Structure 1
Amino acid sequence: MNRLNATKDFWLAALRADGPALRDAVAETGPDAAVPGCPGWTTADLVEHLTAVLRWVRELAPRGVIDKPAPRVVPEPRPEWQEALDGLRREITGTIETLDALDPDLPSWTWPAQAKKAGFWQRRLAHEMSVHRWDAEAAAGRPTPIETKLAADGVSEVLDTWLPAGYRKGPTDLHGVVHLVATDASYEWFVRLRGAGIALLDTGTILDSDDHHARAQATGTASDLLLTLMGRAETDKLAVLGDPRLVTALRAG
């Protein structure tokens, strides 16, 4: 695994780019378009989900405590479409302003077993927005790739956060090492699967005597790797060698 040097400013820049692009895409489609990456969802569902997530994080991240917050609430009834779009715009703007004002080391509740700091949310919302921006553009019939460095960090987030926390959609009975290679970012990852267990290997400290030989390798752009891991694309977008089931075992959910 290469060391990614993503920072608060990098993640906020991604939010500033992907937030308006997402809103433009859902405004273009209207409320009833199907969202291919979220089966059963319409664009109205996507807007409702994102608005609630942004509001929730905007309220919890600045508290300066690690106590678990109240559950996220989706207001009812659902507002009219133009009001929903305006609400999403306000939450995007307000959340960016809130996260920009926070020291990444400020104590904050987070859901994985990691350091309880506000920087988690700066990173998490950048990736939440980027993948859902792709969803919204897919609903509009014009999806564009996730920016290369952001997508590479998104792959790392799946492997260092989602999967160790138990958010796996793929099979959990497989064993072996998976090698992921981002062709456009000069990044690679080695992941060891032991049934339900998973370990992201640090290639900078792997010893020659370690058994890190891959039983499967998946190669593609960073965006295609991330979209595959997040269930938005099939493995046929990638060049896969070895056992393809090991690649699907890395899908987050």
Structure 2
Amino acid sequence: MTRLHGTKDFWMGALRTEGPAFAATVAEAQLDIPVPSCPGWTLTYLVHHLGSVYARVRGIVGRGDTEPPPGPLTVPDGLPTGTAAVEWWRDEFDQLMTVLERVDPETPAWNWAPQPKRAGFWHRRMAQETAVHRWDAQMAVAAGEPIEAKLAADGVGEVLDTLLPAGRRASDQPFHGVVHLIAADAGQEWYLRLRGEGVALLDTGTILDSDDHHARAQVSGTASDLLLALWGRLGFDALDVAGDVSLLEGLRAGR
């Protein structure tokens, strides 16, 4: 198994690219159109959702402690619509960037994952959240651009080492077997073993353990397509797949 080791500079650089790309897309679109990759959402709701995520994360990171925030994420009523919604989003994004730029990644900060409770978690999470939703927005206007390969490979890693171990799997069914993912354009690969509701990333030297008697699947494609498939934005049939394809549903992250 190989992984990228992201840094604050890497994720902030991604935000500086993906944030303006999201803003440019929604600024030129009719905001009442549906977002096909997020069933039931319009572009207005996508703008409100992403801006509300930014506001919540600012509060988490800015406190400097590991206490959880009160209640779940909500999108408040009464948010602006039309062009005012885009300006509201820009303000939320700018405030998030200011907070993330200033904070040391080692500063204590709550998160929901089995990860150290440090602010650096949110640099990564916000870069990935923004990139995937930028793709959602562009797809709504039939102008989707892939996610940059290194960022997408980091996003695949986030799904596998953070979201799935945290229980954020789309399906609640048990899965058993070994899956091999390959992002050829990023020079990255991952082996993981699904065991019921759990998932474990594996080193390549351990995948032939004698206790593994389950079917395997292999998925190969660009890092962007792999990431989007893990998030349910693409079908796995858009990639090169071999073996027991039923295992792949055990890799999808919940929205």
Aligned-pair Cα RMSD in Å: 1.6
Shift of 1:189: 0.3
Aligned to 1:147: 148
The one-letter amino acid of 1:98's match is V
How far apart in 1 are the matches of 2:98 and 2:54? 12
**Offset from partner CA, 1:81-104 (integer Å, 9 cap, x none):** 122111100111111111011110
How far apart in 1 are the matches of 2:244 and 2:74? 42
Aligned to 1:6: 6
> Residue 229 of structure 1 contacts residue 251 of structure 1 at CA under 8 Å; is this kept in 2?
yes
Residue 208 to residue 240, structure 1, CA distance change in 2 (3 Å): closer
How far apart in 2 are the matches of 1:76 and 1:251? 30
Matches within 5 A, 1:171-190: 172-190=173-191
Aligned to 1:39: 39
> Residue 110 of structure 1 contacts residue 116 of structure 1 at CA under 8 Å; is this kept in 2?
yes
Residue 214 to residue 48, structure 1, CA distance change in 2 (3 Å): same
How far apart in 2 are the matches of 1:207 and 1:221? 23
Matches within 5 A, 1:43-82: 43-71=43-71, 72-82=73-83
**Which structure 1 residue ranges, 5 or more long, are not aligned?**
none
Residue 91 to residue 189, structure 1, CA distance change in 2 (3 Å): same
Secondary structure of the 1:151 match is: helix
Matches within 5 A, 1:1-253: 1-71=1-71, 72-170=73-171, 172-203=173-204, 206=206, 215-253=216-254
Please report the TM-score for the alignment, with normalisation by the length of structure 1.
Answer: 0.95
The one-letter amino acid of 1:144's match is E
How far apart in 1 are the matches of 2:114 and 2:226? 24
The one-letter amino acid of 1:2's match is T
> Residue 171 of structure 1 contacts residue 248 of structure 1 at CA under 8 Å; is this kept in 2?
no
**Which structure 2 residue ranges, 5 or more long, are not aligned?**
none
How far apart in 2 are the matches of 1:211 and 1:62? 46
Shift of 1:202: 2.8
> Residue 44 of structure 2 contacts residue 81 of structure 2 at CA under 8 Å; is this kept in 1?
no
Secondary structure of the 2:134 match is: helix
Shift of 1:58: 1.2
Secondary structure of the 2:251 match is: coil
Q: Structure 1 vs Structure 2: percent identity of aligned residues?
A: 52
Please report the TM-score for the alignment, with normalisation by the length of structure 2.
Answer: 0.94
Shift of 1:240: 0.4
The one-letter amino acid of 2:43's match is T
The one-letter amino acid of 1:103's match is D
The one-letter amino acid of 1:84's match is A
Shift of 1:4: 1.0
> Residue 109 of structure 2 contacts residue 117 of structure 2 at CA under 8 Å; is this kept in 1?
yes
The one-letter amino acid of 1:251's match is R
Shift of 1:152: 0.3
**Offset from partner CA, 1:40-66 (integer Å, 9 cap, x none):** 100000001011110111122021100
How far apart in 1 are the matches of 2:208 and 2:186? 25
The one-letter amino acid of 2:2's match is N
Secondary structure of the 2:185 match is: coil
> Residue 3 of structure 2 contacts residue 154 of structure 2 at CA under 8 Å; is this kept in 1?
no
> Residue 179 of structure 1 contacts residue 214 of structure 1 at CA under 8 Å; is this kept in 2?
no
Shift of 1:173: 2.1
Secondary structure of the 2:13 match is: helix
Secondary structure of the 1:66 match is: coil
